Amino acid sequence: MSTGEMFARACMRAGLNVFTYPEYPSLIRGGHNTVLVTASPCPVPANLEQVNMLVALNRESIDLHLAELSPRAAIIYDTTDRTFANFKPSSVKRRDLQVIGLPLEKFAVDVGGQKLMRNSVALGASCALLGIHPNDLTEVVRAMFGDKGEPIVALNAKILMAGYNAIAPAQRKQCTWKVKPVKKAGDRVLLTGNEALALGAIQAGCQFMSAYPMTPATSILHYLAAHGPDHGIVVRHAEDEIGAIHHAIGAAYAGVRAMTATSGGGFALMTEAVGLAAMTEVGVVIVDVQRPGPATSMPTWTEQGDLRQVLHAGQGDFPRIVLAPSSHQECFTMIQEAFNLAEQYQSPVIVLTDKYIAEGQRSVPVSDLKPVAISRGKIFAGAAGKKNDLFKRYDEKVADGVAPRALPGTPGALFVANSDEHDEFGYSNEDASNRVAQVERRAQKVATLRKKGVPPRFCGPKTAPLTVVTWGSSAGSVEAALQILDDEYKLQANAMVITMIAPFPIPAVTAALKAAGKTVIIEANRSGKLAGYIREQTGLSMDSAINRFDGRPFDPVELARQFAKLIKR
């Protein structure tokens, strides 16, 4: 995986925008593992299903990816890999391809490295073919391996250059795919959606994170476990997901900013606790990094299937907030908004992402990673009277539904955070009128937030014959498709990306749909979960839908083709 990252960083240093898409099976060793790096002077919000340069470390890689190879694509293959023992380049059924065999393992070992460093040799060779300057490469090596010491940096640089120098000038000339450096590209970082979210949590002032490992959320736990302690965060690997969510609830009740992160199956275990947070009015942030369901399904692939699970988790009626970042930059900013909303509305806030955005890297301008001002909501600082006085933590009379909370340890502010229905002090109460008053007050929080909520994100021209509705990581594929639609079909469409799922921005979405021409909804699940939810909230349906649920992201080229068909119909 790190070879892909090195290549991505080299392209980024050459001034290009990059997007990486890893594919791997749920195994520790073996299986077919790939990283697809897309680089362009234009923004790259998603990868295309095309390959211009294939590094094949085993024979089956050529067969598996042959259909994706673009005209005049190049293949670098490892002549020293035993699967290539009887391979002849002429057996590849495409005459336009540039097929180059190099003894990758031998080159690595000859300069003092190990056989498994062969992908770095291939990387060097790729860079030579693509016209990436060796300096950009060695700078990346220094940036990535610098803290491992000079000998490691030097060795990696040597291995890369062995590959680079193995390409003859004639071969370089033959390769028509070239990386043209862009000057003044600006200060950027390469990061995964999970890293963006974790960084955003640090920026947000997260103080406590408890989680249980689950693909594809685990790297959030790893990143915060490594860096959290330097930034005032207690990071707890919990015994299970139920422990994790309850740790976070306890910590938040005690007054610190707390979160957990998991995938759909782990969230399923946290269901009852979501209601506990709502009933005790403790603000916690719960991240669900979606993958295909149901049950174990395909752990290392992508899907947008948990919408209804998070909207309806927990028995009974209670307010909740659901956010769905639709870009790497939004992973950074929306997690900060999540912490604010959790504390302002004293409510569970669920942040939905998915494997495609969580594990893919994107180059993001540093200026896009803005801090969001911290807002901790209403806190009662205590009363001057007796230290063990009670206070009305769940005051029925608050107009916006949010009654000030008190942190344990505060004198004169005692109350009961009760999973039972309760009176204003929190004591268990089953009276009919009390029940109605408390349910109504909690529901009022949603009404209050709905007025202030986050409107959808719009992109493309203000009016267009087709409006594409989408959410989450599919937005990147849609944005890329809109660009292709314009460039190659000379047709226009615009997009509405829903980022606050609950409370749903009913007026904004209704207005947009009514003003739209043809509409189509793009989502990575079979049953059209967002489509059904929009219909439920607004009464409106989209004209058509494009759904993908094979675990892979949408192909912008195919989407553009479908959009063109819809417009021309």
Partner 1 sequence: MATPHTAKDFESGHFPTWCPGCGNFGIWTALKQALVELNVEPHRTVLVFGIGCSGNETNFVKAYIFHSLHGRSLPVAEGIALANSGLTTIAIGGDGDGYGEGMAHFIHTIRANPNITYIVHDNQVYSLTKGQSSPTSEHGFKTPSTPFGNPDNPINPISLALTVGAGFVARGFVGDTTQLTALIKAAIRHRGFSLVDVFQPCVTFNATNTFKWFYGKVVKLETLKHDPTNRDAAWKMAQHPDKLPLGVFYQQEKPTLEDGFTVIAKKPLVEQSPERRQIVALLEKMK
Contacts (CB under 8 A) with partner 1, residues 415-454: 415-420, 426-428
487 burial level (CB within 10 Å; 0-12, 13-18, 19+): exposed
411 binding partner 1? (CB under 8 A): yes
228 binding partner 1? (CB under 8 A): yes
* Cβ–Cβ under 8 Å, residues 177 and 352: no
* Cβ–Cβ under 8 Å, residues 415 and 383: no
Separation CA 237–CA 334 (nearest Å): 24
Choose the stretch contacting partner 1; rule: CB under 8 A; options: 27-35, 231-239, 480-488, 513-521. Answer: 231-239
What is the smallest separation between the CB atom of 569 and partner 1, expressed in angstroms? 44
What is the smallest separation between the CB atom of 139 and partner 1, expressed in angstroms? 10
What is the smallest separation between the CB atom of 389 and partner 1, expressed in angstroms? 9
Place of tokens 């000038």: 169
Separation CA 212–CA 192 (nearest Å): 20
Place of tokens 């991505």: 8
x/- binding map, residues 159-198, to partner 1, per CB under 8 A?
----------------------------xxxxx---x---
* The two three-digit tokens of residue 129, written as one number: 């073919």
227 binding partner 1? (CB under 8 A): yes
Choose the stretch contacting partner 1; rule: CB under 8 A; options: 45-53, 57-65, 409-417, 558-566. Answer: 409-417
Among 7, 21, 145, 208, binds partner 1 (CB under 8 A): 208
What is the smallest separation between the CB atom of 426 and partner 1, expressed in angstroms? 7
What is the smallest separation between the CB atom of 420 and partner 1, expressed in angstroms? 6
What is the smallest separation between the CB atom of 34 and partner 1, expressed in angstroms? 22
410 binding partner 1? (CB under 8 A): yes
Among 10, 204, 220, 221, binds partner 1 (CB under 8 A): 204
Separation CA 222–CA 213 (nearest Å): 9
Contacts of 321 (CB under 8 A, 6+ apart): 338, 341, 342, 345, 347, 348, 349, 350, 449, 500, 502, 503
Among 119, 156, 203, 344, binds partner 1 (CB under 8 A): 203
The b-or-e profile of 150-173 (16+ CB within 10 A means b, else e) is: eeebebbbbbbbbbbebbeeeeee
CB nearer to partner 1: give 14 or 497. 14
333 binding partner 1? (CB under 8 A): no
What is the smallest separation between the CB atom of 148 and partner 1, expressed in angstroms? 13
Separation CA 178–CA 181 (nearest Å): 9
210 binding partner 1? (CB under 8 A): yes
β-pairing, 34-40 with 17-23? antiparallel
Residues from 363 through 382 that contact partner 1 (CB under 8 A): 366, 369, 371, 374
* The two three-digit tokens of residue 123, written as one number: 């990387």
206 binding partner 1? (CB under 8 A): yes
Residues from 90 through 149 that contact partner 1 (CB under 8 A): 143
CB nearer to partner 1: give 369 or 498. 369
* The two three-digit tokens of residue 344, written as one number: 């302002």
Separation CA 470–CA 477 (nearest Å): 10
Among 182, 390, 443, 540, binds partner 1 (CB under 8 A): 390
CB nearer to partner 1: give 284 or 323. 284
What is the smallest separation between the CB atom of 246 and partner 1, expressed in angstroms? 3
Separation CA 422–CA 403 (nearest Å): 14
What is the smallest separation between the CB atom of 407 and partner 1, expressed in angstroms? 7
* The two three-digit tokens of residue 429, written as one number: 């109460």
Output the CA–CA distances (angstroms, integers) from residue 299 to 215, 296, 355, 503, 551, in the order listed: 6, 6, 9, 29, 9
β-pairing, 208-211 with 234-237? parallel
Residues from 248 through 277 that contact partner 1 (CB under 8 A): 248-258, 272-273, 276
Separation CA 146–CA 164 (nearest Å): 21
Contacts of 34 (CB under 8 A, 6+ apart): 22, 23, 24, 61, 65
What is the smallest separation between the CB atom of 8 and partner 1, expressed in angstroms? 11
What is the smallest separation between the CB atom of 336 and partner 1, expressed in angstroms? 10
Among 134, 377, 412, 465, binds partner 1 (CB under 8 A): 412
Residues from 277 through 316 that contact partner 1 (CB under 8 A): 280
Choose the stretch contacting partner 1; rule: CB under 8 A; options: 29-37, 221-229, 294-302, 344-352. Answer: 221-229
CB nearer to partner 1: give 55 or 261. 261
388 binding partner 1? (CB under 8 A): yes
What is the smallest separation between the CB atom of 213 and partner 1, expressed in angstroms? 15
503 cis-preceded (ω within 30 degrees of 0): yes
CB nearer to partner 1: give 225 or 506. 225
What is the smallest separation between the CB atom of 371 and partner 1, expressed in angstroms? 8
Residues from 7 through 26 that contact partner 1 (CB under 8 A): 9, 12
Output the CA–CA distances (angstroms, integers) from residue 118 to 33, 38, 107, 109, 541, in the order listed: 15, 21, 7, 9, 53
* Cβ–Cβ under 8 Å, residues 39 and 11: yes
Choose the stretch contacting partner 1; rule: CB under 8 A; options: 15-23, 225-233, 432-440, 542-550. Answer: 225-233
Separation CA 13–CA 143 (nearest Å): 11
Among 407, 459, 540, 557, binds partner 1 (CB under 8 A): 407
x/- binding map, residues 494-513, to partner 1, per CB under 8 A?
--------------------
Place of tokens 């031998």: 106
**H-helix or E-strand spanning residue 145:** helix 134-145
Across 79-207, the runs of DSSP E, i.e. the strands, are 98-102, 188-192
